[in-house]
Amino acid sequence: MAQAEQTLREALAAFGFGKDVTGAVRYGAGHINDTFLVEGEERRFILQRVSSAAFKEPDKLMENIVNVTEYLGREIARQGGDPARETLTVVHPRDGGHSFTDSAGGVWRAFYFVEGTECYQAAETPQLFAASGRAFGRFQRLLRDYPAATLHETIPRFHDTEDRLRKLKAAIAADSLGRAKDCRAEIDFMLAREADCSMALNALREGALPLRVTHNDTKLNNVLMDAETGEALCVIDLDTVMPGLSINDFGDSIRFGANHSAEDERDLSKVSLDVDLYRVYAAAFLGEAGEALTGAEVRYLPWGAKLMTLECGIRFLTDHLEGDSYFHISRPGQNLDRARTQCKLVADMEAHWGELNAVSEEYLARAE
Ligand code: ADP
Ligand code: GN1
Ligand code: MG
């Protein structure tokens, strides 16, 4: 039996899915973990092998997730919601602990499958995008009193844009696969924005922006939508919940959702920032999280959008130069294509900079 099949079997046996459960199918469109859908005897589950390329300390990661989901569950129940559908529920292995380690060292964890939901890869309607904005705004608000210092940093320097640029420079210098010559324009674009990479970090160092409990991976496909009502139900993919900047949670959503193209679209004429969608998302996010944020955070929202997009482009390009070991790819050159869409979006954000800032100013004027 191939090793991958063998370790999946071990994982299936380790959790209490039911004695006749021997199969699982690949599921979802995440770039990081290996995700499977399991038909249990009584219900369905999500089973995931945690990416060892991304996460070096899976025990700490699971401790974060268990603590955060339990906290969210209590808050949601207190506010009259249904924790079983509105946050993830960790399923523990039969022998205890939060995860199972297979014979090859792979770490597996499981959640209840949240039934009656849909997960979207693109903001098909403004209403859908607004719903995700409310979900991430609410996530921010629900966790405002969570003791941030007790969270482990699951990926050190995750949104340290300065460090991401340093790593890109190292990958360019090494150019181990000889790919740099084919991405000169993207490299130049990113290096020209070195000063930008320090904007949010400077504000944090100067005390202008506070550290908060943040999700750090706020793509539209990390929210489950209620299939019946279309409203956002459950924020998922909690691997990167850790202390961070609220503007980054806002910004990563804009990066992924405020346009009408796929992240790896090859026809760049289809890639553009939709300023209306930016407005829709900002109104929804601020409607839920606004009162928990400072004026400076609201003013820095456009920087969150631009920096998350630039940083993600830097990360895709670095991975392309280094041989695609981090982000899953399904075709050669996909990470370069992803980097190109991010450059196009950054350029568009710069072109609409005044309008993006006006959104924040108008919100602050109304809130006075
Ligand atoms: P990755 O880190 O690789 O993105 P995710 O945790 O986001 O992994 O899961 C990948 C996909 O699996 C999600 O986009 C979603 O479609 C689906 N998914 C994950 N957890 C659940 C769940 N508890 N219930 C239903 N679907 C889920
Ligand atoms: C990854 O796990 P997933 O697919 O939701 C990545 C994000 C990137 C995103 C780009 C842990 O998100 O940081 O923004 O791909 N997650 C991790 O699509 O690195
Ligand atoms: Mg995901």
Number of independent structural domains in the chain: 2
Most informative mutation of 154, 159, 219, 248 for ligand 2 (most atoms within 8 A of CB):
219
pTM: 0.95
Tell whether 41 is covered by a domain.
Answer: yes
Domain-located, residue 34: yes
Alpha carbon distance 192, 25 (integer Å): 44
Ligand 2: residue whose CA is nearest its atom 17: 32
Per-residue pLDDT in tens (0 to 9) along the chain, 368 residues: 688 889 999 999 999 898 778 789 999 988 999 999 999 988 999 999 999 999 999 999 999 999 999 999 999 999 999 999 999 999 999 999 999 999 999 999 999 999 999 999 999 999 999 999 999 999 999 999 999 999 999 999 999 999 999 999 999 999 999 999 999 999 999 999 999 999 999 999 999 999 999 999 999 999 999 999 999 999 999 999 999 999 999 999 999 999 999 999 999 999 999 999 999 999 999 999 989 999 999 999 999 999 999 999 999 999 999 999 999 999 999 999 999 999 999 999 999 999 999 999 999 999 88
Alpha carbons 250 and 256: distance in angstroms, whole number = 11
What confidence score (pLDDT) does residue 100 get?
98
Minimal-distance CA residue to ligand 1 atom 17: 28
Supply the CATH number for residue 138's domain.
3.90.1200.10
Residues around ion ligand 3, judged by CB within 5 A, are: 30, 222, 237
CB 159 within 8 A of CB 244: yes
Can you give the pLDDT at residue 1?
60
Strand partners, 35: 48
Q: Same domain, yes or no, for 131 and 242?
A: yes
Query: Residue 216: inside a domain, yes or no?
Result: yes
Of 81, 115, 149, which residue is a domain's last? 115
Candidate of 25, 35, 48 to mutate for ligand 1, largest count of ligand atoms within 8 Å of Cβ: 35
Co-location of 132 and 108 in the same domain:
no
Cα–Cα distance list, 129 to 172, 230, 325 (Å):
36, 10, 31
In a domain, 120, yes or no: no
Domain boundary among the residues 115, 134, 152 is at 115
Q: Are residues 75 and 200 both part of a single domain? A: no
Which residues are near ligand 2 (CB < 6 Å)? 30-32, 54, 217, 219, 222, 237, 239-240, 263, 312
Start-end of H helices in the chain: 3-14, 58-78, 83-86, 126-142, 161-174, 184-191, 199-205, 246-257, 275-289, 295-299, 301-322, 334-351, 353-367
- Which of 224, 234, 239 has most ligand 1 atoms within 8 Å of CB, for mutation? 224
Domain termination residue (choose one: 115, 136, 163):
115
Same domain (yes/no): 109, 230: no
Report yes or no on 282 lying in a domain: yes
347 and 229 inside one domain:
yes
331 and 243 within one domain: yes
Residues 304 and 180 in one domain: yes
Q: Does 243 lie in the same domain as 132?
A: yes
Q: Answer whether residue 121 is part of any domain.
A: no
pLDDT of the residue at 22: 73
Answer yes or no: do 101 and 244 share one domain: no
Q: Quick one: which atom of ligand 1 is closest to the CA of 221?
A: 14
pLDDT at position 2: 85
Torsion of CA 350, 346, 156, 53, to 10 degrees: 180
**Among 285, 234, 238, which Cα is nearest to 257's?**
285
Residue 34 contacts by C-beta under 8 Å, 6 or more apart in sequence?
26, 48, 49, 51
Alpha carbons 340 and 107: distance in angstroms, whole number: 33
**Which CATH number characterizes residue 9's domain?**
3.30.200.20
Q: Degrees (nearest 5) of the Cα angle 302, 160, 173? A: 115
Question: 72 and 153 in one domain?
Answer: no
Clarify whether residues 217 and 298 are in a common domain: yes
Nearest C-alpha to atom 5 of ligand 1 is from which residue? 237
pLDDT digit string, tens, across residues 21-68: 878 999 998 899 999 999 998 899 999 999 999 999 999 999 999 999
What Cα–Cα distance (Å) separates residue 287 from each residue in 73, 86, 208, 283?
A: 22, 19, 22, 6
DSSP state string for 131-154 = HHHHHHHHHHHHTTTS-GGGS--S
Residue span of the structural domain in which 243 resides: 126-367
Do 103 and 193 fall into the same domain?
A: no
113 CB near ligand 1 (under 6 Å): yes
